[in-house]
């Protein structure tokens, strides 16, 4: 009866210095052919997986189950180390499966048990030594602010062995951070970058998940991250601490809060129900853009009797209000110097408070050690002081984010004027262009601007039981509540 053979391929890291899976497979196929065995069609692989523990290798576990099921008679790997880098598990395999190596032959308990067992021990020892060397090299690189792998980073040119220097693509990275932090959607950014033919970090081009993979890298903020811990990098960061904090704040906020259902409506999130105060949802009612109380939508009349309004009515009232108050709120904006000084002062105060809590922690830790304070007592106090550090860090992050989000007042006015044109406020009210929807990017910019001006827009219940009564004043049923500085 023909012996059936299965091939097992394992590679812990895919790099030029290792034997590729394709080469391992070719070596094994040639060995099976020389032996006159029949190769089964199913492939068993564990790529980028260590050989120290079999429990962590899905390919090997599938191989084991199929062997015990009688699907094949012998397992072939390129060499014994492909089966295991742990001598205990390697030796256990010898007694439970028929193994063969393309480079070292077929295992036979009577003729070559000792050499094979010794080879497993040698492979395990080599693995431990290589692991120690790699850890030492890793520590060496992290201590010097260098990435563990030395791989290229988008936005940087690699000079020499380890130096990373910002290149022309750094401007693309900075623009992506600035636009996302300002409120623009990831899809809109990617579509714009693609239309402009900008270089991308990978061969797939610009797409939302790829954009976040790029922007979430602490490397651009000047850090090297390894196993969840940040280390100061030796390279020049593309972002200031304030810009990084502003991005992280925007990222977390937009992860927590659901994306608006109508991302192109620039007043989304600002309009509330006049009965219960909950947000009004934008939706289509019989083909007409409309608003409905979100509490009513979720709970029915038991939660709120509900207010409903056509979106165009709210927009019309807002246009009137905007025309009336445009110069008033533009003049009320703080000066560039006043606003920036306040933001910088807040960061300095938060940094001082944070440094003080860190010093307090260190002083107590030293005092507890010198005075031999009972560990249980000192641990409790240190935990309390650690919480104080965490709270101070949160205040510092918030202050840095505010500084990173700072926009000079003159620029805000320019953006508002541009937004008025987007709204169509500079054209006759009966112009058909008023019905055109702004792009997602334009709406995102306008939402951010209006949120600086408007606290909320309240939709009150109808002033008359009949919705079409001639005495009903639709504009009086909409109240615009500005921010404090506009009152």
Q: pLDDT tens for residues 223-255?
A: 888 767 778 888 999 999 888 988 988 888 777
Residues 97 and 243 reside in one and the same domain: no
Residues 388 and 443 reside in one and the same domain: no
Residues 17 and 99 reside in one and the same domain: yes
Q: Is residue 289 part of a domain?
A: yes
Provide the domain count of the chain: 4
pLDDT band per the 50, 70, 90 thresholds, residue 105: confident
* 386-424 pLDDT per residue, tens: 888 888 888 888 877 777 766 665 555 554 554 444 444
Q: Is residue 148 part of a domain?
A: no
Q: Determine phi and psi for 81, rounding to 5 degrees.
A: -65, -20
Residues 59 and 41 reside in one and the same domain: yes
Residues 313 and 422 reside in one and the same domain: yes
Q: What pLDDT does 321 receive?
A: 85
pLDDT at 128 over 60: no
Q: What pLDDT does 258 receive?
A: 46
Which comes out higher in pLDDT, residue 356 or 276?
276
Residues 385 and 416 reside in one and the same domain: no
Residues 233 and 380 reside in one and the same domain: no
Three-state secondary structure of the chain: CCCEEEEEEEECCCCCCCCCHHHHHHHHHHHHHHHCCEECCCCEEEECCCCCCHHHCHHHHHHHHHHHCCCCCEEEECCHHHHCCCHHHHHHHHCCCCEEECCCEECCCCCCHHHHHHHHHHHHHHHHHHHHHHHHHHHHHHHCCCCCCCCCCCCEEEECCCEEEECCCHHHHHHHHHHHHCCCCHHHHHHHHHHCCCCCCCCCCCCHHHHHHHHCCHHHHCEEEECCEEEECCCCCCCCHHHHHHHHHHHHHHHHCCCCCCCCCCCCCCEEECCCCCEEEEEEECCEEEEEEHHHHHHHHHCCCCCEEEHHHHHHHHHHHHHHHHHHHHHHCCCHHHHHHHHHHHHHHHHHHHHHHHHHHHHHHHHHHHCCCCHHHHHHHHHHHHHHHHHHHHHHHHHHHHHHCCCCHHHHHHHHHHHHHHHCCCCCCCCHHHHCCCCHHHHHHHHHHHHHHEEEEEECCCCCCCCCCCCCCCHHHEEEEECHHHC
Q: Is residue 150 part of a domain?
A: no
* 35-70 pLDDT per residue, tens: 999 999 898 998 877 656 667 788 889 988 999 999
What CATH number should be reported for the domain holding residue 164? 3.90.1750.20
Q: Is residue 100 part of a domain?
A: yes
Q: Determine phi and psi for 480, rounding to 5 degrees.
A: -100, 120
Q: Is residue 263 part of a domain?
A: no
Among 254, 279, 301, residue at a domain's last position: 254
Q: Is residue 137 part of a domain?
A: no
Residues 290 and 428 reside in one and the same domain: yes
Among 411, 428, 457, residue at a domain's last position: 411
Q: What pLDDT does 126 receive?
A: 55
Q: Does the pTM exceed 0.75?
A: no
Residues 342 and 321 reside in one and the same domain: no
Q: Is residue 135 part of a domain?
A: no
Q: Is residue 266 part of a domain?
A: no
What CATH number should be reported for the domain holding residue 90? 3.40.50.1390
Residues 213 and 346 reside in one and the same domain: no
Residues 98 and 192 reside in one and the same domain: no
91 lies in which domain range? Answer: 4-129
Residues 247 and 384 reside in one and the same domain: no
């Amino acid at each position: 009866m023909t012996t059936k053979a299965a091939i097992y391929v394992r590679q812990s890291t895919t790099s030029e210095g290792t034997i590729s899976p394709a080469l391992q497979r070719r070596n094994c196929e040639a060995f099976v052919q020389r032996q006159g065995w029949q190769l089964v069609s199913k492939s068993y692989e564990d790529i980028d997986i260590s050989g120290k523990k079999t429990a962590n290798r899905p390919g090997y576990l599938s191989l084991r189950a199929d062997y015990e099921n009688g699907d094949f008679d012998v397992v072939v790997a390129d060499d014994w180390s492909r089966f295991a880098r742990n001598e205990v598990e390697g030796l256990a395999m010898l007694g439970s499966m028929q193994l063969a190596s393309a480079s070292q032959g077929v295992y036979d308990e009577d003729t070559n048990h000792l050499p094979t067992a010794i080879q497993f021990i040698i492979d395990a020892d080599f693995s431990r030594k290589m692991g120690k060397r790699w850890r030492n090299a890793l520590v060496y690189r992290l201590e010097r602010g260098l990435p563990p792998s030395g791989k290229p980073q988008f936005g940087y040119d690699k000079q020499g062995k380890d130096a990373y220097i910002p290149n022309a693509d750094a401007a693309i990275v900075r623009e992506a951070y600035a636009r996302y932090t300002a409120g623009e959607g990831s899809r809109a950014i990617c579509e714009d970058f693609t239309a402009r033919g900008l270089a991308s970090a990978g061969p797939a081009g610009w797409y939302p998940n790829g954009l976040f993979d790029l922007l979430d890298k602490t490397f651009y903020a000047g850090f090297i991250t390894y196993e969840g811990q940040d280390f100061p990098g030796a390279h020049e960061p593309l972002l200031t601490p304030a810009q990084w904090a502003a991005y992280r704040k925007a990222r977390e906020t937009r992860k927590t809060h659901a994306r608006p259902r109508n991302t192109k409506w620039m007043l989304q999130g600002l309009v509330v129900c006049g009965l219960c105060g909950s947000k009004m949802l934008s939706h289509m009612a019989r083909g007409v853009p409309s608003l409905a109380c979100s509490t009513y939508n979720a709970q029915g009349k038991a939660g709120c009797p509900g207010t409903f309004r056509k979106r165009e009515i709210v927009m019309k009232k807002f246009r009137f209000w905007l025309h009336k108050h445009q110069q008033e709120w533009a003049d009320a904006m703080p000066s560039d110097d006043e606003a920036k000084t306040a933001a910088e002062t807040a960061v300095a105060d938060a940094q001082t408070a944070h440094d003080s809590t860190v010093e307090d922690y260190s002083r107590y830790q030293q005092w507890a050690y010198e005075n031999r304070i009972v560990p249980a007592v000192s641990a409790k106090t240190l935990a309390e002081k650690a919480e104080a550090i965490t709270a101070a860090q949160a205040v510092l992050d918030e202050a840095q984010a505010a500084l990173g989000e700072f926009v000079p007042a003159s620029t805000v006015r320019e953006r508002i004027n541009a937004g008025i044109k987007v709204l169509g406020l500079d054209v006759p009210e009966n112009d058909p262009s008023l019905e055109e929807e702004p792009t997602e990017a334009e709406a995102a910019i306008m939402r951010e601007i209006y949120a600086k001006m408007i606290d909320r827009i309240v939709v009150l219940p109808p002033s008359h039981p009949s919705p079409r009564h001639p005495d009903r004043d639709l504009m009086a049923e909409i109240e615009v509540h500005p921010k404090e500085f506009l009152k």
